Structure 1
Amino acid sequence: MRQYFIDYMIVSGLIIGITAFMGVIAASIGERIFGGSKRKEHVNESKHIQSGWNLVGGKNKTIS
């Protein structure tokens, strides 16, 4: 009976993991195929908003 529960946990973990991984893959493929020229729109907008911000915390901060 214990082996049944172990198998059940392994299979349920694989199903949940594969489902989550497939979602990430589908989103990235869809973005590449259907994204067109707006593929980096959110990244560019975030960089634009953060362009004047001060770096805080830590020492030897470098801008990359």
Structure 2
Amino acid sequence: MGGYIADLSMVAILIIGITAFMGVITNGFGEKVFGGKKRSEFVEQSARFQTQWKNVGGKKK
């Protein structure tokens, strides 16, 4: 019974892991191929907002 549960757990983890990895790869491929001019639209917008932020935490140099 313990072997069955171990096998089932390993197969489930592999299926979930492979599915998640394939999603990331497919998304990256889609952005590269079909992204066009607006490929980094959200990254650039986020960077524009963050230039106005003040730094907090850490040691001052």
Assess same fold via TM > 0.5.
Answer: yes
RMSD: 1.2
TM-score calculated relative to the size of structure 1:
0.87
Secondary structure at the residue paired with 1:52? coil
Structure 2 match to 1:52: 52
Give the AA of the match of 2:39. Answer: R
Match in the other structure for 2:35: 35
TM-score norm. by structure 2 comes to: 0.90
Structure ranking higher on relative contact order (CA contacts 8 Å, 6+ apart): 2
Cα shift at 1:50: 1.3
TM-superposed CA distance for 1:60, in Å, is 4.1
Q: Supply the AA of the counterpart residue of 2:32.
A: R
The CA distance in 2 between the partners of 1:19 and 1:60, in whole Å, is: 44
User: In the alignment, what sits opposite 1:15?
Assistant: 15
Separation (CA, whole Å) in 2 of partners of 1:13 and 1:52: 43
